[in-house]
Amino acid sequence: MHQLEVVTEDANHCRYRQTARVGPLRFVQILELDRGGQGPLVNRVVEGQFHGGTITFDITGDTAAEVTATLDAPLRGPQRLIAGLLRRNVAASLRRALAEDKHDLESGTYR
């Protein structure tokens, strides 16, 4: 399960809630995205289990966009015990989200 909900948004900023499930664990994060600058899109985790972390989307390519997503998150307490499971699950979730975005953009259905 992976859900996104926009909390606040304007032309340059977006604050959203991300809910994800890893096995029996449920994670709720609040992230902020500053869309005003050049370069990679950096989503900062400002509340939740991984606060202080970032998800960075770097878009490159001349004729077709190539997107690289990088997650940097501090692991605390029990999270360290399941670090491998978290890495695999988050990587799979990011791959699915990027594939959905690719489909939406290429099909013309993206708003």
The residues, ordered by sequence, that sit 6+ positions from 8 with a Cβ below 8 Å of its Cβ are: 14, 15
Q: Which amino acid, residue 25?
A: L
Edge-to-edge strand list for the sheet holding 2-9? 2-9, 13-22, 25-34, 41-48, 54-60, 66-72
Decide if pLDDT at 29 tops 70: yes
- Prediction pTM value: 0.74
Q: Return the percentage of the chain with pLDDT > 70, whole number.
A: 97
Task: Tell me the pLDDT tens digit for each residue of 49-103.
Answer: 889 999 888 888 777 778 888 888 888 887 788 788 777 877 777 787 778 777 7
Provide the residue type at 9 as one letter.
E
Q: Taking Cα atoms as reference points, which of 68, 39, 58, 41 lies closest to residue 16?
A: 41
Distance CA(14)–CA(71), nearest Å, equals 18
